[in-house]
Amino acid sequence: MSHSKTFLIISRRPPYGSSHARDALDTALTTAVFEQPVAMLFQGDGVLQLLKGQEPAAVRQKNLGATLSALPMYDIENLYACADALAQRGLTQDDLILPVQPLDRAGIAALIRNHDVVLNF
């Protein structure tokens, strides 16, 4: 009998300019394929990954929006964002491609404590 571990993927980097955002998404999807429970937390500039209407062709990058939109198909439905990061960037739920639950610092600490494996990108 196998025991599932709960995974929290924390994505802190902007969507473009490095591979960190794509690596976080790839890790989340790969983990979900193996039927492990996965949640994602977007912090700092990572919340910019959630913006609607991204057009990264100008910087010769693939749009992360399609990958983000696929998260629910992989049963990755527990999506969280740092409330402070959203507020600092003037973002509301209407600006985002997927619904996320905003968390304050105490909520983020509790989220981290409640997962077996926490991976930072």
Which residue ranges make up each domain of the chain?
Answer: 7-120
The structure's pTM equals 0.91
Q: In whole angstroms, what is the distance from residue 27 CA to residue 31 CA?
A: 6
pLDDT in tens, 4-46: 899 999 999 999 888 999 999 999 999 999 999 999 999 999 9
pLDDT at 80: 98
CB 37 within 8 A of CB 68: no
pLDDT in tens, 35-91: 999 999 999 999 999 998 776 555 566 778 888 989 999 999 999 999 999 999 999
The kind and range of the H/E element at 73 are: none
CATH T-level fold of 7-120: Hypothetical Protein Ychn; Chain: A, (3.40.1260)
Q: Which amino acid is at 22?
A: R
